[in-house]
Every structure is written in structure tokens, then in C-alpha cells.
């Protein structure tokens, strides 16, 4: 079945530091890849997505590139802010059953990021 593996947290950085959160996946076919962010006490929000190999998703200074050869979708940001403190989830959509037409979103375990001033 489909699976997503992302680096375990927590990750603690100082403001303006460089951020990388690693994410690799296993899937049949051609999944779409996502990063979602969850701020304390809130639901998940889409941060960025990529739907095919070599696509780069970007938003709010974050970016991730769909790498089919390494089955990876690492999240990066050049300079983090205190307001980026949240839990980040890597996810993919894939078919529920081989040859089927129903999709489900499979999440990684989430990475807690804390940015200190």
C-alpha cells in the first residue's frame, strides 16, 4: 500500500535559520504530493502541492520538488520565522485499490517545528 515517511521531530530552530524537513514516499502509479501545516488548536491547511515529477510547489517562502527518481518531496524554507512554528505533514493521494477510481490521502506522522526568536 501507499506510505509516507517524514523525519521525526521535534525540530527546533532559531529565527532566520534554514529549514529542511525530509519526506519520502512509496506509492503505486503517479501520486500527487502535498505538504499540510497545522497550527496549534487548528485544522490542517494546505501549504503546497505538486502533481507530477519535477514539479515544484511553493507558498509563503516554502518550497518542495517532486522527485520521482528518489521518491522524495522534501520541504525547505530559506529563513524561518517564529510564526512558522507548527506541525508539518507530508501526504500523498493514491488510489485505494489498484485499478480503482477512489483516492485517499495518506499522511506522514508529522514533524513539529518550533522557531525561537
Partner 1 sequence: DTAVSQTPKYLVTQMGNDKSIKCEQNLGHDTMYWYKQDSKKFLKIMFSYNNKELIINETVPNRFSPKSPDKAHLNLHINSLELGDSAVYFCASSRGQGSHPQHFGDGTRLSIL
**Contact residues for partner 1, defined by CB under 8 A:** 32, 34, 38, 41-46, 49, 51, 87, 89, 93, 96, 101-105, 107, 109-110, 112
CB 49 within 8 A of CB 36: no
Chain centroid offset of residue 79 CA: 17
- Residue 22: all three cell numbers together: 525530509
Nearer to partner 1, 51 or 81 (CB): 51
Q: How far is CA 5 from CA 2, 15, 56, 105, 106, in A?
A: 10, 26, 19, 14, 10
Q: How far is the CB of 63 from partner 1 (least distance, A)?
A: 16
Nearer to partner 1, 16 or 54 (CB): 54
Q: How far is the CB of 79 from partner 1 (least distance, A)?
A: 25
Amino acid at each position: 500500500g501507499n506510505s509516507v515517511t517524514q523525519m521525526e521531530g521535534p525540530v527546533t530552530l532559531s529565527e532566520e535559520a534554514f529549514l529542511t524537513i525530509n519526506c519520502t514516499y512509496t506509492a503505486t502509479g503517479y501520486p500527487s504530493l502535498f505538504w499540510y501545516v497545522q497550527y496549534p488548536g487548528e485544522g490542517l491547511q494546505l501549504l503546497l502541492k505538486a502533481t507530477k515529477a519535477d514539479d515544484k510547489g511553493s507558498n509563503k517562502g516554502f518550497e518542495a520538488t517532486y522527485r520521482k527518481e528518489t521518491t522524495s518531496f522534501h520541504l525547505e524554507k530559506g529563513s524561518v520565522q517564529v510564526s512558522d512554528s507548527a506541525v508539518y505533514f507530508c501526504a500523498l493521494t493514491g488510489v485505494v485499490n489498484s485499478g480503482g477510481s477512489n483516492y485517499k490521502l495518506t499522511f506522514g506522522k508529522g514533524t513539529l517545528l518550533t522557531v525561537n526568536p
